[in-house]
Amino acid sequence: MAKAKASKEAKAAAKAARKEASRARRKQLWQAFQMQRKEDKLLLPLMIGSIVLLTGLAVLIGLLTGSLVFVLPLGIVLGVLIAFIIFGRRVQKTVFTKAEGQAGAAAWALDNMRGQWRVKQAVSGTTHLDAVHRVIGKPGVILVGEGSPHRVKTLLAQEKKKIARVVGDTPIYDVIVGNDEGQVPLKKLERHLNKLPNNINKARIDSLESRLAALGGKGPGAGMPKGPMPAGAKMRNIQRTARRR
């Protein structure tokens, strides 16, 4: 009896937690919509236009085929879906535009990637907030650098040499985030990594992660911000924190 009661209470608690999480997501989504709407004057016209266009197309097809009752709801649903896709894409574009060029932006982008990526932020770096981040995935090991290109190239070469002794014949890729020739723009970073060939399986990914964990990130890079530095942040204070670490 007591066990059944405990199980019932656990289910109720889980249900309440799901409701709260759902409410929090809706609130976050609404806040994101309000912020984007204020900054992006094309957002509402594009979203409304997609719904009107798809609905109008559905009405036309429904009248021509005599199946308006079935086609109209489908057109409305598709219009709403396209509107949400437009919203998501434009929010993402705004976020990346604001983050681009800020210290910690690449680390933030890597942490927010979809898929089975193992990300270790700032495995090496400088007090100028240049950093190299390590990513392990199906392509192998990817070293992602951000900051001053000439300093980052040196960091990448040092880190590549260090991990080559540990990973054996596992492919090692290096990427510098930026907008110059030979670099990868922040907004295209995830796409670039996803286009790399699949060279290793999950078991090997797990093994590599364990072996590389000992190398850690104990240098100045450990002081890197966890995300893009807000505009107007005092670089001197953050550099001082990096030196202490």
**Among candidate residues 40, 15, 6, 186, the one with its CA nearest the CA of residue 112:** 186
pLDDT digits (tens, 9 = 90+) for 30-66: 888 888 888 889 999 999 999 999 999 999 999 999 8
**Rounded mean pLDDT of the chain?**
83
29 vs 102: CA distance, rounded Å:
25
Q: Measure the CA–CA gap between 92 and 86, rounded to whole angstroms.
A: 10
pLDDT of residue 239 exceeding 80? no
- Structure confidence by residue, pLDDT tens digits, 88-126: 888 878 877 777 777 788 888 888 888 889 999 899 998
47 vs 149: CA distance, rounded Å: 40
Whether the pLDDT of residue 87 is over 80: the answer is yes
Give residue 14's Cα distance to chain centre: 28
Exposure string (b/e) for 59-78, b if CB count within 10 Å is 16 or more?
eeebeeeeebeebbeebeeb
